[in-house]
Chain A
């Protein structure tokens, strides 16, 4: 599959790779420069492959609050990050739910899970009785993420007033440039926005950002940026074999009367946790073994080189039983064992609002 912006990537000589069945740009010129541009200036990404669902009706917010474990009792114009659970309390996906109004919610889900999520949400909808309708409009929307400390400055020049949005704020923006939904969210840890719109309007916004000198960045940069700030990714840190308690997402789960997966989750015992480690020499990669005192305790779930701190960095899933209080970890790389630095905070703070 191709996003509406595919020809623009080809025109910019991007390296294209298959991502969950989508032909997406992994980088345009230099991955490293793209990463540094987002940390220090501003870059933008085509993330149109992601899915958009809408819930509309008088009980749209009540349905949302039942669907996810996170608290959706938020003000209009605010968004919430949450895992999406099955009845076993295991993670089907993670998502951002945007409350556009009392009667309209937008959900943005991972591209690789659109069909699975839609099927699941439809089932929950059919099995319950909320006064609302649900729509899958993934194919109607394109999506650009503009990220970095200068993103507000660039975006307001190209799109109109966005500076009134707080972190995780969202609004509809309708002006001569078209109709958009703009949110102050992203996946890089920096200040930034995600702009949802029709294909032609997003295509024009893309062109204007290019003309303004903003740097297009690929999914390669996006992945390293999210690992630097320790954001989990479905299929790596999150999976259907894990509960939110297994992957440091306890903070997303609110104690409420009922939600999908609550019973199982309340009865579950966490088996794993995610730890943050770095190496002074060598790069920990996904699938590498993680050891402690000579014993295998887990596995690297995402690993990369951080060009910002010039270290190999990783998120690793370790067994809780074997690692209580443990702060000393090693990574096995091609048969050799490397001592890791243990981090209690993300590798990079990020400058989001």
Chain B
């Protein structure tokens, strides 16, 4: 089964996706990540206002058998969390690219340049 990798998004080596809109970055985990994890049963997200540096852990997603840390793709401040996922974590399995986790207001837009594009990410999944 081919993994979905939308071209309009940026990616990280930790199998997260990022949608860049000016200073704001929306973060989720990729289709490849949800498929590798299997049934996701728990999500832990930070508080709004939490300050993150690039590569800082900001939460976890857990399947029945495993715990995976989530890492911030950029530095900035958490401005929104998708609290719907806390009661319905399985949505990440169903629609990985609609089930965003957090939105970050970036402290520097320059870090976006270091994210992977869809082609680079695709080769990471092969």
Do A305 and B67 touch (CB < 8 A)?
Answer: no
Question: Complex: how many Å from CA A67 to CA B62?
Answer: 42
Query: What's the tally of chain B residues with a CB closer than 8 Å to chain A?
Result: 11
Residue of A nearest to B65 (CB): A220
Chain B residues near A285 (CB, 8 Å)?
67
Which secondary structure characterizes the binding site on chain B? strand
Interface code A221-233, partner B: CB below 8 Å = 1, 0 otherwise? 0011000000000
With A26-B65, A220-B65, A304-B65 in contact, is A31–B60 under 8 Å at CB?
Answer: no
On whether the beta carbons of A283 and B38 are closer than 8 Å, the reply is no
Q: In the complex, which residues of chain B have a beta carbon less than 8 angstroms from the beta carbon of A41?
A: none
For the complex, is A334 an interface residue (Cβ under 8 Å from B)? yes
A173 CB to nearest chain B CB (Å) = 34
A321 within 8 A of B: no
Question: In the bound complex, do residue B64 and residue A307 qualify as a contact, i.e. CB atoms below 8 Å apart?
Answer: yes
Known: A31-B63, A307-B39. 20 other contacts (CB 8 A): A15-B38, A30-B38, A31-B39, A32-B38, A32-B41, A32-B64, A35-B64, A223-B65, A224-B64, A224-B65, A282-B42, A283-B62, A283-B67, A285-B67, A304-B64, A304-B65, A307-B41, A312-B42, A334-B44, A334-B60
Listed A/B pairs (21) with beta-carbon separation below 8 Å = A26-B65, A30-B38, A30-B39, A31-B63, A31-B64, A32-B39, A32-B41, A220-B65, A224-B64, A282-B44, A283-B41, A283-B42, A283-B67, A285-B67, A304-B64, A304-B65, A305-B42, A305-B62, A305-B64, A307-B41, A307-B64
Residues of B within 8 A of A (CB): 38-39, 41-42, 44, 60, 62-65, 67
